[in-house]
Structure 1
Amino acid sequence: MPWCLLVPALGSALAVILPVAYLVINAVQRDPSRIAADLFRYRTIELLGNTAALTFGVLVFSSLVALPIAYLTAQTNLRGRSWMALGGVLPLTVPGYIMAYAILALGGYGGFWHRLTGQVIASPKGYWGALLALGMYNMPYMYLNLRAAFSDLDPSLEEAGRSLGHGRLSLLVRVILPQLRPALLSGGLLISLHVIADFGVVSLMQFETFSLALYSANETMDRGAFAVPALVLIMMAMLILMADVFFLRGLTLHRVTAGTPRKKSLIELGSWSLVAYLFVVIVIMVGVVAPAGLVVFWFLQTPLASVADGVLPALARSLAVSFPAAAMAVALATPIALLVKRYPARWSAILGRSAYIGYAIPSLAFALSFIFLSLQIEQKIPMLRGWIYQGFVPLIIAYSLHFLAESIGPIRSGLYLATPRLEESARALGVGSWRILMGVTLPLLRNSLIISAALVFLSVMKELPITMLLAPLNFDTLAVNVWSYSEDAYFAEAAPFALCILLSSGGFVWILLSRGGQTFSGPRKSTADLLV
């Protein structure tokens, strides 16, 4: 077992687990009767109902939008299916809080519609505004899972269903949808984790969930106030992970007979083609064109001098944390992915899955765990006072640990395509583990490492809660400026910062499309395999 892999992998896993464990231990140190009373009071039940209702609504919305697009792009012979497939992914480039910004900037006095027509319309706020913003942003997670599942469907099952007299609706309900269950659960897992962790959208839309309550409790720095919201958020995340494993346990959908699936024939839509095109166009307009257009509209209302004075420093600060965080995440993820794939065992699987705890835990709870652990370290070691809490380096570490799961996925996928025989040959020639890693393994994973770094880079550029809680004083990034200006309805002032984030997201999509085909063509893994 190479120590050059084992030591950093163990260190990464412990670094992820320690802050979260410290947060839980401090939360449960309160009087048990007080915790029980807080858990069952009306306010807690109300927040739980709001969070659950929003999560369920976003799941339903995302599924209803993603399912038709996935079906059209994978099962039909419509022209331009590749562009339609791109339309299913592009809403991911518009962060949820920018989608919320666009919705709020559309209506109201002085809003886009008022300036265009002179009429004042009300922008959706509260539950429905949060549902629309989070639903459009998270829809691509469901779409990508469903499209992959549609592409892998065995056409013989549909033919057998037709021969038994099933119509189109019955075939969909009794044959196709059961085969899509893993994809629906995998997409639902990711979406649920994102929704319960969201802070930017619910705060702008003024819809109270546990994340918003946790942020409000943090402002008081009262450990008793944040105990219940933090514990409930962590328990909800763990229940979501356990539910995904439970519903997929023992599920078998592959062929039980010899042979390979035949190539399926694409479906001719005929007169329904116009409706299909119209649906996809509406999704692209609502999810991408409208928010991007509103950002550009408000950007044109902003004086260039203020853009240079405010945006360029914020962009520099965002880049200053995104690049090192992406590099550190890749450096920490590579040993873990190599151990999981090259040295499969129960302990390596546990080590790999433990790295996903930081991603599964909502970012606000993860940031709070870092805050209280940092304060405890500074109290125990006075010479570190001023260097740990709200320090630049701890911020980079928090980013890299929280997004470690995003970094592991592409690297592990790339290892399925990188043959181990080259490493075995080098080892037989007496080459050391370190030289094999640097001279053989990493060059084979070049595309995977680029995708991995791009994922973390974009996530850090868009990250809001961790930045707000852990960044040094006056260290306002692009995301923080978008949120702060939008909260005060200064839409023109927020537009340049939002435009920079959209351009960064567009660059990420280009990298994903140009290199992703070489990286993700290996065996597919369910989201449960990756996150649990």
Structure 2
Amino acid sequence: MFDNIKKFNRLNWNAWTVFVVAIASLISAPVIFVLSSIFSDTAEIWSHLASTVLPRYLLNSFILMVGVGCGVSVIGVGAAWLITMCRFPGSRLFEWAMLLPLAAPAYILAYTYTELLEFYGPIQTWLREIFGWTSVNDYWFPEIRSIGGAIALLTLTLYPYVYLLTRVAFLEQSTCTLEASRSLGANPWGSFFTIALPLARPAIITGLALALMETLNDFGTVQYFGVDTFTTGIYRTWFGMGERVAAAQLAAVLLLFILWLILLELWSRRQAKYYQTTSQQQHLQQFHLTRMRKLGAFIACLLPVFLGFLLPAGLLLQMTIAESGASFRGRFWDYASHSLTLAAITAVLAVAIALIMAYGVRINRNLGMRVSTRIAAMGYAVPGSVIAVGILIPIGTVDNAIDSFMRSMFGISTGLLFSGTITALVFAYLVRFMAVAFGAVESSLVKIQPSLDDASRSLGYSPTKTLIKVHVPMMWGGLLTGAMLTFVDVMKELPATMVIRPFNFDTLAVRVYNLAADERLTEAAGPALAIVLVGIIPVILLSLRIAKSRQS
């Protein structure tokens, strides 16, 4: 019995385990707080929300999820199949070009397309000049500021999640399996629906879940288009009504939506098993298309790239050049420095914490370690608005308790020490994007052979020295990748920044949102273009990885 206790203490409660569990507890605390707020007693406020706005939040969020889910599935899966299995002009180019919309957040597309498609925009103005129309009563034009417009723009920016994972699944499918289907008389469509699509189902569901999580996280697009969803409702309840607990309960409902998506992805594979009988020993034999089908495949792949990146980026560039004074005057460089500072601090901290957690699991692969790291990395599935609520309320309580104590003991008012500070904002970013850094660091660390650890220990190096002297120099690529991806995500983050940012400490994302809300889209072009240019960095990394995998 005593031997078992000693073994438990040695394997599960050494210094690394305790430290990793402490980090996981700290990072997961905001999510746990939001879930616990469901049991708070706010019956009167909640009944008011339930009878007025909650049904609208539920309905709009559901419509967005269905619309975006259908859109990203059709574009992502279709493009992945065409590029992987069909030969047509530009197919090699589209392998990485399909990822370009990842660089442009949906809220930037919303501002850009509004400038392009509104009544006084160039398209409607041109149509009125051509056909002699004088008012909106003379013709019909789709309203961009609507739930349909939000679905279209979110689809254009989120389909790469499905495309990337589905294409990898198609590439990994056995050549023999597809050739067998052809030998049995299956045409390309038959092979797709009966063989390739069922085998790629886990990847498709995973990409779809990621896209829907980002849909529920969106704030800038739906707020600008006047579509009431949970994210806008949380912001309005917090700042408009001043009801923090009610906002936390709305956040809890939104979090339940996210958990439902995660469970749905797991449930979809509960009994299904997908195996390849042979590995891919040769390149997949691509289908030869007729001339018209080649043209159709080219247009089908070009449209998402053109509408999701090339057109909005070109418009932003044109507006920035035409109105460079308006785009970069005022405090533009202050906002840029704020964004860069926050992104750099978060990237360094995230990679450092991810390295500690990943190495802790490497040297002590017990259940507590594995569960703790997964809990710490679950924040990426949680919307920024939910994390903001889960951070500000507990921090506000701590600030008030410290202030009361200092007043009673020393007659000194400390004010707000943590609320509305850079510290709180960086902590929110860490909770939100820890999974990004952890994934890059862990994937790099597992490539290092365990025999190097044994050799280092035999030379008298401690685990910490082994990490610093042996592993870190071999992991620079993974560490830089994790830092860069985290950096870009922080630059684009809007919901958490809107709620937590210190007073008079706007970032580029907040600046773009404020200018667009004031209908000053020309001035917003410069900051928006800067965010898009920074967002191209991970696209370049993914493109290089795709090219390298194709050559190997």
Give the TM-score normalised by the residue count of structure 2. 0.88
Which residue, out of 268, 278, 284, partners 1:247?
268
Which residue, out of 16, 26, 33, partners 1:15?
26
Code of the aligned partner of 1:297: Q
- Bigger Cα displacement from structure 2, 81-90 vs 20-29: 20-29
Three-state SS of the structure 1 residue aligned to 2:482 is helix
Q: Are positions 1:6 and 2:36 aligned together? A: no
Q: Is the 8 A contact 2:83 2:95 kept in 1?
A: yes
Aligned to 1:202: 222
Q: Are positions 1:82 and 2:92 aligned together? A: yes
Code of the aligned partner of 1:440: V
Q: 1:511 to 1:259 in 2, by over 3 A?
A: closer
Aligned to 2:112: 102
Three-state SS of the structure 1 residue aligned to 2:186 is coil
Q: Is the 8 A contact 2:17 2:369 kept in 1?
A: no
Q: 1:440 to 1:194 in 2, by over 3 A?
A: same
Q: 1:342 to 1:96 in 2, by over 3 A?
A: farther
Aligned to 1:338: 359
Q: Give CA deviations for 1:454-485 in whole Å, capped at 9, x if unaligned.
A: 11100110111111111110111100011111
Q: Is the 8 A contact 2:45 2:246 kept in 1?
A: no
Which residue, out of 347, 355, 361, partners 1:326?
347
Three-state SS of the structure 2 residue aligned to 1:254 is coil
Larger Rg: 2
Q: Are positions 1:509 and 2:539 aligned together? A: yes
CA distance in 1, matches of 2:549, 2:440: 7
Code of the aligned partner of 1:298: M
Aligned to 2:473: 443
Number of equivalences:
520
Code of the aligned partner of 1:323: A
Q: Give CA deviations for 1:201-254 in whole Å, capped at 9, x if unaligned.
A: 110111111111111011033134324421210111111111111212343222
CA distance in 1, matches of 2:451, 2:93: 39
CA distance in 2, matches of 1:100, 1:508: 22
Aligned to 1:469: 499
**Identity of counterpart residues, as a percentage?**
27
1:141-160 alignment runs, 5 A limit: 141-160=161-180
Q: Is the 8 A contact 2:327 2:524 kept in 1?
A: no
Q: 1:305 to 1:206 in 2, by over 3 A?
A: closer
CA distance in 2, matches of 1:251, 1:507: 37
Which residue, out of 55, 62, 86, partners 1:45?
55
Q: 1:65 to 1:259 in 2, by over 3 A?
A: closer
Q: Is the 8 A contact 1:103 1:124 kept in 2?
A: yes
Code of the aligned partner of 1:64: V
- Bigger Cα displacement from structure 2, 58-67 vs 41-50: 41-50
CA distance in 2, matches of 1:357, 1:3: 24
Q: 1:521 to 1:10 in 2, by over 3 A?
A: farther
Q: 1:115 to 1:303 in 2, by over 3 A?
A: farther
- Bigger Cα displacement from structure 2, 259-268 vs 492-501: 259-268
Code of the aligned partner of 1:283: P
Aligned to 1:500: 530
Code of the aligned partner of 2:440: P
Q: 1:226 to 1:266 in 2, by over 3 A?
A: same
Q: Is the 8 A contact 1:28 1:227 kept in 2?
A: no
Q: Give CA deviations for 1:83-131 in whole Å, capped at 9, x if unaligned.
A: 1112210000011100111111112244343566765866512111111
Which residue, out of 76, 79, 83, partners 1:73?
83
Q: Are positions 1:396 and 2:416 aligned together? A: no
Q: Are positions 1:267 and 2:278 aligned together? A: no
CA distance in 2, matches of 1:73, 1:469: 41
CA distance in 1, matches of 2:194, 2:14: 51
Code of the aligned partner of 2:468: M
Three-state SS of the structure 1 residue aligned to 2:226 is coil
Q: Are positions 1:284 and 2:302 aligned together? A: no
Q: Give CA deviations for 1:432-453 in whole Å, capped at 9, x if unaligned.
A: 1111001111122111111111
CA distance in 1, matches of 2:145, 2:41: 36
Q: Give CA deviations for 1:111-169 in whole Å, capped at 9, x if unaligned.
A: 34356676586651211111111111111111110110110111222233334443443
Q: 1:521 to 1:303 in 2, by over 3 A?
A: closer
Q: Is the 8 A contact 2:233 2:250 kept in 1?
A: yes
CA distance in 2, matches of 1:9, 1:240: 27
Aligned to 2:233: 213
Three-state SS of the structure 2 residue aligned to 1:403 is helix
Code of the aligned partner of 2:347: A
CA RMSD of aligned residues (A): 2.7
